Amino acid sequence: MWRRDGKELFYLSMGGQLMAVGIANESSSLRLATPESLFLMGFSLSRGGTPLSQRQPFDVSPKGDRFAVTSYATLEAQPLTVVVNWDAELRKK
């Protein structure tokens, strides 16, 4: 995803890091800065951590200084107790 002024490109690495690379237009060629890791997104593309239906798991502000990131909560399975005929138990008391 490009910063609005075209001077920086943001992308997600295979390891789940949000990366930024500066872009400079020098005469007839582009000069790329060394990519910089901004933060860990919380899932890894190399392990299939983002759903295929989710094409862009982040968005960037026009100035490139803020990000909106989609996250998914992972819930642990909890036991479920089903009480049947509970009204009969109430009548016994």
Within a domain: residue 17?
A: yes
DSSP state of 53: T
The pTM of this model reads: 0.62
Within a domain: residue 85?
A: no
Within a domain: residue 89?
A: no
Residue-level pLDDT at 20? 94
Within a domain: residue 59?
A: yes
Structure tokens at 54: 């989710």
Nearest to 35 by CA among 62, 67, 12: 12
| Cα–Cα distance, 43 to 23 (Å, whole number) | 26
Residue-level pLDDT at 83? 86
**Strand, helix or coil for residue 45:** helix
Q: Number of structural domains, the chain? A: 1
Q: How confident is the model at residue 30 (pLDDT cuts 50, 70, 90)?
A: confident
With a cut of 90, say whether residue 36 has pLDDT above it: yes
| Cα–Cα distance, 89 to 68 (Å, whole number) | 52
**Strand, helix or coil for residue 91:** helix
User: What value does the mean pLDDT take over residues 17-36?
Assistant: 89
